[in-house]
Amino acid sequence: AAWPPALGERLADVVRGAKAVLLQREIPDHVNEAVASVAAAAGVPVFQDVGGEDRPLSDDQLSRADYVMPNQSELERLTGMKADTDTAVVKAAAALRAKGAKNVLVTLGERGALLLDAKGDVLRQPAAALPGGSVADATAAGDAFRAAFALASVEGKPVVERLRFAAAAGAIAASRMGAMPSLPEREECDALCARTPLATPNPPTEPDPNPNPK
Over residues 163-182, the pLDDT tens digits come to 999 999 999 999 888 788 78
Residue 151 lies in a domain: yes
- Taking residue 120's Cβ as centre, other Cβ atoms within 10 Å add up to 9
Predicted pLDDT of residue 205: 43
Q: Is 86 a catalytic residue?
A: no
Task: Verify that 71 and 100 share a domain, yes or no.
Answer: yes
Confidence of residue 1 (pLDDT cuts 50, 70, 90): low
List 49, 84, 117, 143, catalytic entry = 143
Question: What pLDDT, in 10s, does the model give residues 63-103?
Answer: 999 999 999 999 999 999 999 999 999 999 999 999 999 99
Q: How far is CA 48 from CA 17, 21, 84, 85, 195, in A?
A: 18, 8, 22, 23, 28
Residue 100 lies in a domain: yes
What are φ and ψ of residue 168, in 5° steps? -65, -45
Torsion of CA 112, 161, 41, 92, to 10 degrees: -30
Residue 140 lies in a domain: yes
Predicted structure pTM score: 0.90
Question: What pLDDT, in 10s, does the model give residues 14-33?
Answer: 999 999 999 999 889 999 99
Task: Verify that 142 and 94 share a domain, yes or no.
Answer: no
How far, in Å, CA of 61 to CA of 78, rounded? 13
Task: Verify that 105 and 131 share a domain, yes or no.
Answer: no
Task: Verify that 49 and 107 share a domain, yes or no.
Answer: yes
Task: Verify that 59 and 70 share a domain, yes or no.
Answer: yes
Question: How many domains are there within the chain?
Answer: 2
Predicted pLDDT of residue 213: 43
Residue 36 lies in a domain: yes
Task: Verify that 137 and 116 share a domain, yes or no.
Answer: no
Which domain range does residue 192 map to?
127-200
Task: Verify that 114 and 186 share a domain, yes or no.
Answer: no
Domain containing 59 — which CATH number? 3.40.1190.20
Task: Verify that 131 and 96 share a domain, yes or no.
Answer: no
